[in-house]
Structure 1
Amino acid sequence: MKFFFDLFPVILFFITFKFYDIFIATAVAIVAAIAQIGWLWFRQHQIEKLMWVNMVIIVIFGGATLLVQDETFIKWKPTVMYWLIASVLLVSSLLLRKNLIELMLEKQMILPVAVWNMLNLSWIVFFLFMGGINLYVAFSFSADTWVTFKLFGATGIMLVFIFLQVLILGTYLKQVSERILTTNEQNNLIEKIDNKTGKKQ
């Protein structure tokens, strides 16, 4: 349910564009993003920082689109968002020595530092890629194609990437569990041998 709620402005943008044009769709997306924040504040009094950032970016770039009647700004919006996230992950890792992916997921799983670093790097590369592919589609194809890609293409790529991450981590965690189980079995066997030896003595 949260997944569709997060996509609420994008879904409305897509539907409105299909019936009207990109400028009305942009206005609707701005209102939807603000309404989304308002609803969360009313229900939870707590809003994720990423959602605040998304709203600010869509207001700025969407507002510029409406002000000068140029769709270039709204087409840049996803790329700015993707590259901003990638930059934050990279700067936090290099300068602040903080792995933000680890901070978000450490309660769900325990991984070695090397694996956390690999996971963080993979997300940085992914968001850089997403920013680039958004620009390619936005300025190489029609607005209709870009709007469709924005909802279905970008979301699909994101889901595939997350699925692959889960598969890789799942395999790793399974291997770790098997190694721990084998070690425990060996320790139990050693204890049994020691106990028997002790009894014979």
Structure 2
Amino acid sequence: MKILFDLLPIILFFIAFKWGEGHREQAAAWMTQYLGFAVSGGAVGPTEAPTLLATVVVIVVTLLQVVVLKALRKPVDRMLWIGLGIVVVLGGLTLWFHDETFIKWKPTAIYWVMGAGLFITEVVLGKKMLNQMMGGQIQVPDAVWRRLGWAWVAFFAGMGVLNLYVAFNFPTDIWVSFKLWGSLGLTLVFTLLQGVYLSRHMPAEATDKAAS
């Protein structure tokens, strides 16, 4: 359930963009009428409408995630706060300047913030944050956690670069699809590889227990 909650802004960004692609004139008219105050010149054109509509959706959904968690008196993850700040700033700039460049930087900014956070906590401070995120029940040598920390830092750095490459070398619709399916697929593959790597370094009795 939490995975779906975390992915909700990306999924709805994708859906909003695809709808806007198929209804450019309608999306442009709606945004001009109701959100003209948020864009320079007060009008949205059909060409830019899909991206700007998707940007509005992702800002609203991310904000609603925080509001819902607060209303339910549940803790708001630090990365959600950071993501909200990034999407409001870059999304706001995208809307005002009619320029999708800003929102295309959002995934990279989040990847690099996550990578920097892991580098500080896992590599520099050695707090075994990855172990804590996995429930703290996996017993492997500290050196394994350090190597895994470096691997995640490299993964986030690489994903940030890959997002920029796709964003600025392919049409926007390709980037939007990659933002959902490509990023999700690569993350799942990397997570599976992480599980295989950990299993190779777990004590035999722990591995047998996990298998049973």
In structure 2, relative to structure 1, the CA distance for the partners of 1:168 and 1:26 (3 Å cut) is same
CA distance, structure 2, for counterparts of residue 15 and residue 98 of structure 1: 39
Could you tell me which amino acid in structure 2 is paired with residue 65 of structure 1? T
Q: Normalised by the size of structure 1, how large is the TM-score? A: 0.82
Corresponding residue number in structure 1 for 2:204: 177
Q: Is the 8 A contact 1:23 1:66 kept in 2?
A: yes
Q: Is the 8 A contact 2:9 2:58 kept in 1?
A: yes
- Whether contact under 8 Å (1:89, 1:99) holds in the other structure is no
2 CA distance for matches of 1:153 and 1:94? 27
User: Does 44-53 or 158-167 show the bigger shift?
Assistant: 44-53
Distance 2:123 2:141 in 1: 18
Deviation (angstroms), 1:106: 5.7
Q: For residues 153-200 of structure 1, what are the alpha-carbon distances to aligned partners after superposition, in whole Å with 9 as ceiling and x for unaligned?
A: 001100111011112212322xx125999xxxxxxxxxxxxxxxxxxx
1:71 aligns with 2:103: no
TM-score (norm 2): 0.78
Q: Distance in 2 between matches of 1:164 and 1:140?
A: 29
Larger Rg: 1
Q: How many residues align?
A: 179
Contact 2:126 2:146 survives alignment (8 Å): no
Greater than 4 Å deviation, 4+ residue runs: 178-181
TM alignment of 1:13-28, pairs within 5 A: 13-20=13-20, 21-28=50-57
| Bigger helix share | 1
CA RMSD of aligned residues (A): 1.9
Q: Is the 8 A contact 1:101 1:120 kept in 2?
A: yes
Q: 1:167 aligns with which of 180, 183, 196?
A: 196
CA contact (8 A) 2:131 2:138 kept: no
What is the distance in 2 between the residues matched to 1:43 and 1:180?
38
Tell me, which stretches of 5 or more residues in structure 1 are unaligned? Answer: 182-201
Query: Which residue in 1 is equivalent to 2:10?
Result: 10
